[in-house]
């Protein structure tokens, strides 16, 4: 046994096991590194939706199979009520306001790195671990080695205190490596496909999901220049800035969404791909969150959506608000989305587009 393994054996880690390959390998690696490991399945959402059976029972069964393979205990923590209040309701409210929220970010902030962390520590854990592609060092959040899978965008609202109690064993690997490592260990979930769609909705689309909770009223799609009606929409709530597909406007040049008015239930479009509202150079952010101390520099790189390339920008902070001046305009930055800030490999935090 290495010294580090001896040290690790005193550390009890609760691993969030979702029944997917990433969290399964996370648990396996921690066992191999000598940690005392307990698996936890977070029961966040169990509701079936029309035409869509919620996969939670299958996911729990998969997590159990892997726990048996690794000879570790698996507990179930039930966060369904809190999840509905803090993640689902937030998402519905934001859509009603005509904004584009990110429920995965809220889930990490409120559930995985608050509720789960607190419940795990209260239950005897020293630390928690998840299958996120990210790295952490001394309470700082660093980008993963696999740029294509890096998930720091979704973790920017987690606190430094929570990160100092969190392990991300996959941060140093690429997704293909993770699959190979899971196969090499014969893990039951090695070939399981990654889940698609919203974290709690599975294969169902956002349209079908929101339709369960919001009264959807059709209305006019208007050309922003002439303010003439050019088509009909099936609910302004479903349209985001820059969207081109699903507008169902016939003939001629493609139209792009450049705005909407929720009170009037109107969606505004243009055929001009160079419309300035589609290409902002300045972004106003609210609800700023810093992982550590607020950043004192003024040059940052920003990511406006998961997997978007990092874009150089100048930052000016005003309390809980901030302004970003992009070096080059970026297409379709949408109210409600998150803009996440980086300095080199470190994720500093970010804010929500006003």
**Residues with catalytic roles:** 107, 199
Q: Is the dihedral of CA 108, 111, 115, 116 positive or negative?
A: negative
Q: Are 24 and 17 in contact (CB under 8 A)?
A: yes
346: Cβ contacts below 8 Å, ≥ 6 apart = 140, 141, 142, 143
Residue 127: which of 137, 109, 147, 113 has the closest Cα? 113
Q: What are phi and psi of 217, to 5 degrees?
A: -115, 125
Q: Are 348 and 341 in contact (CB under 8 A)?
A: yes
Q: Are 160 and 312 in contact (CB under 8 A)?
A: no
Q: Are 241 and 333 in contact (CB under 8 A)?
A: yes
Calpha distance 49→46 (Å, rounded): 10
Residue 161: which of 196, 107, 114 has the closest Cα? 114
Residue 280: which of 315, 327, 322, 342 has the closest Cα? 327
């Amino acid at each position: 046994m290495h010294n580090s393994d001896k040290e690790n054996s005193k550390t009890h880690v609760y691993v969030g096991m979702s029944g997917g390959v990433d969290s399964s390998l996370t648990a396996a690696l921690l066992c191999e590194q000598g940690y005392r490991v307990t698996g936890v399945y977070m029961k966040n959402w169990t509701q079936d939706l029309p035409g869509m059976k919620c996969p939670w029972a299958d996911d729990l069964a998969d997590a159990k199979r892997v726990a048996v393979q690794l000879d570790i205990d698996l507990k179930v923590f039930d966060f369904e009520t809190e999840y509905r209040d803090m993640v689902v309701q937030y998402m519905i409210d934001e859509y009603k306001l005509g904004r584009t929220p990110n429920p995965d970010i809220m889930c990490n902030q409120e559930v995985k790195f608050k509720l789960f962390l607190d419940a795990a520590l209260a239950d005897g854990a020293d630390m928690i671990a998840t299958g996120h592609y990210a790295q952490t060092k001394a309470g700082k959040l660093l980008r993963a080695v696999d740029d294509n899978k890096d998930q720091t965008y979704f973790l920017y609202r987690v606190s430094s205190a929570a990160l100092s109690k969190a392990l991300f064993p996959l941060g140093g690997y690429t997704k293909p490596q993770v699959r190979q490592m899971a196969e090499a260990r014969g893990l039951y979930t090695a070939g399981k496909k990654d889940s698609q769609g919203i974290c709690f909705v599975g294969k169902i689309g956002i349209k079908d999901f929101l339709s369960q909770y919001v009264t959807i009223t059709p209305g006019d799609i208007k050309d922003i220049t002439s303010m003439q009606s050019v088509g009909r929409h099936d609910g302004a709530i479903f349209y985001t800035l820059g969207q081109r597909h699903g507008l169902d406007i016939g003939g001629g040049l493609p139209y792009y969404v450049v705005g909407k008015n929720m009170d009037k239930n109107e969606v505004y479009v243009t055929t001009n791909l160079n419309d300035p509202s589609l290409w902002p150079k300045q972004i106003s952010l609210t609800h700023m969150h810093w992982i550590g101390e607020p950043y004192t520099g003024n040059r940052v790189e920003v990511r406006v959506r998961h997997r978007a390339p990092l874009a150089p920008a100048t930052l000016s902070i005003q309390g809980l608000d901030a302004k970003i001046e992009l070096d080059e305009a970026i297409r379709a930055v949408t109210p409600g989305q998150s803009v996440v800030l980086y300095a080199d490999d470190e994720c500093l935090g970010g804010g929500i587009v006003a």
